[in-house]
A = this chain, B = another copy of it.
């Protein structure tokens, strides 16, 4: 089986030397002509708006000349773009895209469907829902209860997660307020067990109703009174209608207490977009609480527990906790299974509940590794038989399987899904929560629309409006060719994990003359981090200068228009990396205080994302492990001096 998959892999991409150029060109021309003849066959009696004679006119010819000339200029300019396709690119999370993703995008782009609703995209809105169901299944959700859609990228997906989380968080308050004003009695399940009338609960308990219980309560409310009355009563008690400024006053008046402002917990290594998101939502950057990570860059579950205890003691509502599956810098995968244990314990022992979101924008697709062709989960041992290496560990599998217990997951097809930008995705375990952000509640839907039509009006439930149906077609076709299991994406990502380990092992063993390479802990997926060190030792400043110099020589910039290999770098700063950096500094012989004092300079760390599946074996072409190490040695040799 491995051989067949390895050969299939060779058809999935255009290839570093455009080896599959004939295949791609054939499909592109086919898709274009197919579209052309669709137009020709649509009411052939309509005649022509553009006649052959028009094409011989001066105005037409001049315009075509302009178009062609400017296109040639664009093509020339693009030659200065980054060769993501090459094994020589070892930088950001960028590689080439699957042919399926490219041709799916191109074919649908000719039709330019707008996935805001079925009326503007009868075909691709269905594909989008199909894709969302596939992704839901991959993360372990029940597609019948889950819901999802594509977004422009991870930021919008994460934004929607927290936007919905806030609405769910305040749903208990809103439903209790509405029930009171409607004069109906409703019971709600408590996190510690048992049930109580919603209208009798104090504010703290209403803010700590579990997601499913809150949605059940809300659902029950709609059964108690005419829909228009419920809608109005809810609006009078919902944060999204009332707005923060008046809501605080309202709660203080009703409950006689002003609880501390709600917090959002994230791993300290979380993407910087979370800061944007809490700022935009009005939650405030100061209410974003960063949790320490361990030496593998994973959220520390014990630290989470300590924080939750403190927040419970100070009665500070926890709006949401964000765990990361595949950090942007290191591809670290949080021990989500342990995070979920902590959440469960907090519910039982502290009586607190919160929305748990996994930011799996980078790593989400690696869940494909856990699925067999038979639709069953594979164990760690089964997967290791396929990879032939010690990856993944059983812990890793547990962590990834635990995605199924998150309230929401964001994951980007345009990252490890290998499709063209833009394609992010947002998945919700309990589809009912989407109604909390619907602007046009379905209850007001005209009777003429069927439930199926309603489902296809995506614009109602999502943050964005107009959006490319081509993106849905792209992801859909790529999933058809590369199934989300061991045959397709699972295999692809296994290869990158193997390649990343080949690169890391090669670096660890490399002889760079005056220098050696300190490799950081084994990545959870496929991003390799390393630091080049003089064998004679160096201060933090010297080390940073050396590695920054190497980075400049090995990246595409005005100084080096044609680097041999391309890498990138990050800076481990305090306090973000406090929990992770100890043993690294020790090996470097740098005192922690020196690092702390460096502030935003931090510790420069070189980074190579291995999305290239061909790196796993030396293969018939050049070996880009040995080649890279040689280039790194050359760059290091020049690194001490000023880059020219």
Contact = CB atoms under 8 A, between A and B. Distances in A.
A282 to B, nearest CB: 3
B473 A74 contact: yes
A374 interface: no
Which 6 pairs between the two chains have the least Cβ-Cβ distance?
A243-B284, A7-B59, A282-B282, A47-B621, A245-B261, A244-B244
Given A112-B97, A470-B421, A74 B284 contact: no
Contacts of A97: 112
A232 B573 CA distance: 18
Interface stretch (A84-92, A174-182, A333-341): A84-92
Given A54-B7, A282-B281, A31 B75 contact: yes
A74 B247 CA distance: 49
Interface stretch (A268-276, A289-297, A380-388): A268-276
Contact of A467 (B38, B91, B152): B152
B17 A24 contact: no
30 contacts: A4-B57, A7-B54, A8-B63, A10-B60, A17-B39, A18-B40, A27-B68, A27-B71, A31-B75, A42-B83, A43-B86, A46-B621, A46-B622, A49-B614, A70-B481, A78-B107, A78-B123, A82-B111, A82-B113, A84-B111, A122-B556, A152-B156, A152-B467, A240-B284, A242-B284, A243-B283, A245-B248, A246-B284, A272-B439, A276-B463
A48 B620 contact: yes
Interface in A194-247: 235, 239-247
B284 A239 contact: yes
Contacts of A21: 32-33, 36
B114 A421 contact: yes
B23 A64 contact: yes
Given A7-B54, A63-B481, A67-B100, A420 B81 contact: no
Contacts of A96: 112
A286 interface: yes
B414 A466 contact: yes
A254 interface: no
Contacts of A161: none
Interface in A422-452: 422, 424, 437, 439-440, 444, 446, 448
A190 interface: no
A121 interface: yes
A46 B421 contact: no
A327 interface: no
A293 to B, nearest CB: 20
Interface in A375-424: 412, 414-415, 420-422, 424
Contacts of A235: 285-286
B17 A49 contact: yes
Nearest to A75: B34
A94 interface: yes
A624 B444 CA distance: 35
Contacts of A586: none
Contact of A67 (B15, B59, B99): B99
B240 A285 contact: yes
Contacts of A94: 112, 114, 120
Contact of A74 (B7, B108, B156, B421): B108
A480 interface: yes
A286 B243 contact: yes
Contacts of A414: 466
A279 interface: yes
A496 interface: no
Interface residues of A, number: 174
Given A27-B71, A243-B286, A420 B112 contact: yes
Contacts of A261: 243, 245-246
A103 B273 CA distance: 32
B11 A63 contact: yes
Contacts of A75: 30-31, 34-35, 107
A476 interface: yes
Copies in the complex: 2
Contacts of A330: none
A80 B465 CA distance: 22
Contacts of A276: 437, 439, 463
Contacts of A153: 152, 464-467
A296 to B, nearest CB: 25
A287 interface: yes
A204 to B, nearest CB: 15
A324 interface: no
Given A70-B481, A245-B248, 8 more contacts: A3-B57, A15-B48, A15-B50, A77-B127, A152-B156, A241-B286, A244-B282, A272-B440
Contacts of A16: 39, 46, 48-49
Nearest to A25: B32
B81 A113 contact: yes
A253 interface: no
Contacts of A54: 7, 10
Given A81-B113, A152-B467, A421-B466, A4 B243 contact: no
A505 to B, nearest CB: 20
A280 B279 contact: no
A441 to B, nearest CB: 11
Contacts of A476: 74
Nearest to A278: B243
A271 B247 CA distance: 25
A515 interface: no
Interface centre among A58, A120, A282, A448 (most CB of B within 10 A): A282
Contact of A28 (B32, B113, B154): B32
A446 B601 contact: yes
B555 A446 contact: no
